[in-house]
């Protein structure tokens, strides 16, 4: 725990940062499940001493944050503050932090002013590195660009011409949940009743994804078998995020659950559900995922591997390519190239970042974030609104809570990346003069996440410090 006086100084810096965050960074994205409300309340509350910020009662009339990173107050400097720092000054601050032994021998960096696209700092920015989960920034950007933020993923039920067999067809939506599956069964039973059918056989169709089903890392609690039909990401427990036990065959499990729901809805299902192909008939019933903008936010905030793989495959389908690891990787790269982004040396072996063969550059990540901050490109805005907020949400909820990094609390929004020996952080930060900066720090052969993550946090927090950049 820091000395009292040192903590007071750090807390003062954090309080100033949180005040700026309340008006410039905390964005009300398409989905608001209480997370954004809590974030706004905490951003308006004063900072206190201790190892973590203690919660405070919400003020009677908390200020609602400005809904933008593209708002004028973020992309231009407030009156009376310097409009730009000298890159040499920024290098003097960041170079010693980037040299932290906790980041291992391989490290690259890029810092860009999103308003101008000017690189303020770079160290090996064009060197391809293993990105871990920061690759999800590229995955989600490609999906948004190819499909648009309003795209929804369907799950359908069709019947044969004689009505004796119905087929549950997966469209690649890993967010399908029991409530929506129940509603789909109810709608299906109603449609069958209108046709006078009281008993059916049930098939399920996963042919949208040609395979392989297993991620190259093999069976793993971080990702389910990759299939076009699943419920709750194939989770076998009550968790919604993070590692969890996964079913060996999420499609069969979903079809079995659907058969039971059909039975409850008054339709007898004969035999066990079996794999099959959907007939070319009009759907009896259909359910849709949330809009793609919402799915992108969820993917980034929670680092959802199942959703990331699904979105990569949706991009492949939009490009007319197979919805496989290879097809998705090619589609993501092609879509980013179409946007004029620097893809030289990149490789997208998967959409989630679990594959160590992935390669991206710090320059690509900051270019993506800069595009997302461009007021002329609202389609990409969920890249920013979905980034976890330092000290508040998602995979950054428990970071930026100690004196060396407290200035980044509420001001740093970033996607984390963690594999054994790989630690990365890429996102945005509000600088003291009000500018929105995009940054990417990639480190390889790191000795331990317990050393690397604080070092990455110090780098990003330095950009939000009282005298930077």
What pLDDT digit, counting tens, does each position of 413-457 carry? 999 999 999 999 999 999 998 999 999 999 999 999 999 999 999
Question: How many residues comprise the chain?
Answer: 469
Angle at 52 between CA 51 and CA 57, to 5 degrees: 140
Question: Given this model, what pLDDT does residue 86 score?
Answer: 54
**Does the pLDDT value for residue 82 go beyond 60?**
no
Residue 303 among the catalytic residues? yes
- SS3 (DSSP) at 408: helix
**pLDDT score, position 466:** 62
CA distance to 90, 237, 272, per residue, from 247 (Å): 49, 10, 18
Q: Are 245 and 237 in contact (CB under 8 A)?
A: yes
Which two tokens mark 105? 């021998």
Q: H helices of 148-249, where? A: 178-194
> In 348-468, which ranges are continuous DSSP H helix?
362-372, 382-385, 449-464
Which among 47, 26, 46 is positioned nearest to 37, based on CA atoms? 26
Which of 13, 70, 110, 133 is catalytic? The answer is 133
The answer on pLDDT for 195 being more than 70 is yes
What per-residue string of b and e applies to 379-407 under the rule 16 or more CB within 10 Å gives b? bbbbbbbbbbbbbbbbbbeebbbbbbbbb
pLDDT for 54 beyond 70:
no
Least confident of 85-94, 120-129, 201-210, 376-385: 85-94
Q: Of 148, 38, 40, which is closest to residue 382 (Cα–Cα)? A: 148
Residue 53 pLDDT > 50: no
Q: What residue has token string 């759907």?
A: 283
Q: Looking at the predicted structure, is the pLDDT value of residue 153 above 90?
A: yes
Average pLDDT score over residue span 281-304: 97
- Give yes or no for residue 47 having a pLDDT over 70: no
Task: Calculate ∠ Cα 29-429-381, nearest 5°.
Answer: 30
Assess whether 33 carries a catalytic annotation.
no
Arithmetic mean of pLDDT, 132-137? 98
What are the start-end ranges of the H helices in 266-324? 292-302, 305-318
Which one, of 6, 9, 20, 31, lies nearest residue 393 by Cα?
Answer: 31
Q: Which domains does the chain have, with CATH numbers?
A: 72-146+346-464 (3.40.710.10), 154-289 (3.50.80.20)
Point out the catalytic residue in the list 110, 136, 407, 415: 136
Distances (CA, A) of 177 to 152, 337, 351, 381, 440: 15, 35, 22, 26, 34
pLDDT over threshold 90, residue 49: no
Full-model pTM? 0.83
d(CA 304, CA 242): 7
Whether 217 has a pLDDT exceeding 50, the answer reads yes
- Active-site residue among 13, 110, 145, 303? 303
What is the distance between the terminal CA atoms of the chain, rounded to a whole angstrom?
27
């Amino acid at each position: 725990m820091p000395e009292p006086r040192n903590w007071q100084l750090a807390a003062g810096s954090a309080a100033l940062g949180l005040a700026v965050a309340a008006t410039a960074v905390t964005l009300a994205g398409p989905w608001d499940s209480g997370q954004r409300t809590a974030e706004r309340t905490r951003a308006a509350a004063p900072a206190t001493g201790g190892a973590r910020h203690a919660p405070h009662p919400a003020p009677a009339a908390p200020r609602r944050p400005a809904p933008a990173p593209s708002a004028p107050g973020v992309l231009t400097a407030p009156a009376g503050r310097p409009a730009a720092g000298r890159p040499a000054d920024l290098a003097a601050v960041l170079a010693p932090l980037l040299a932290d032994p906790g980041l291992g021998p391989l490290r690259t960096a890029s810092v860009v002013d999103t308003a101008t696209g000017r690189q303020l700092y770079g160290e090996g920015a064009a060197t391809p590195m293993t990105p871990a989960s920061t690759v999800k920034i590229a995955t989600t950007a490609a999906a948004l660009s190819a499909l648009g933020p309003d795209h929804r993923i369907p799950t359908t039920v069709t019947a044969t011409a004689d009505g004796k067999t119905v087929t549950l067809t997966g469209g690649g939506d890993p967010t399908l949940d029991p409530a929506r599956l129940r509603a789909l069964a109810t709608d299906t039973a109603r449609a069958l009743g209108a046709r006078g059918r009281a008993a059916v056989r049930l098939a399920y169709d996963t042919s949208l994804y040609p395979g392989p089903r297993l991620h190259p890392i093999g069976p793993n609690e971080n990702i389910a078998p990759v299939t076009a039909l699943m419920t709750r990401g194939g989770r076998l427990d009550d968790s919604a995020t993070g590692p969890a036990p996964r079913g060996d065959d999420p499609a069969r499990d979903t079809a079995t659950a659907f058969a039971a729901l059909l039975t409850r809805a008054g339709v007898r299902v004969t035999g066990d559900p079996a794999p099959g192909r959907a007939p070319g008939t009009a759907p009896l019933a259909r359910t849709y995922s949330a809009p793609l903008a919402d799915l992108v936010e969820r993917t980034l905030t929670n680092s959802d591997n199942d959703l990331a793989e699904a979105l990569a495959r949706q991009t492949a389908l939009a490009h007319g390519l197979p919805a496989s690891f290879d097809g998705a990787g090619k589609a993501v790269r092609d879509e980013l190239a179409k946007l004029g982004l620097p893809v030289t040396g990149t490789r997208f072996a998967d959409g989630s970042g679990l594959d160590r063969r992935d390669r991206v550059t710090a320059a690509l990540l900051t270019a993506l974030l800069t595009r997302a901050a461009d007021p002329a490109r609202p389609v990409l805005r969920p890249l920013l609104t979905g980034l976890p907020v330092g000290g508040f949400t998602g995979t950054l909820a428990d970071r930026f809570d100690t004196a060396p990094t407290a200035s980044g609390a509420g001001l740093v929004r970033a996607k984390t990346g963690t594999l054994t020996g790989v630690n990365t952080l890429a996102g945005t930060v509000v600088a003291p003069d009000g500018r929105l900066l995009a940054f990417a720090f990639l480190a390889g052969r790191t000795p331990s996440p317990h050393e690397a993550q604080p070092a990455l946090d110090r780098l990003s927090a330095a950009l939000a410090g009282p005298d930077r950049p």
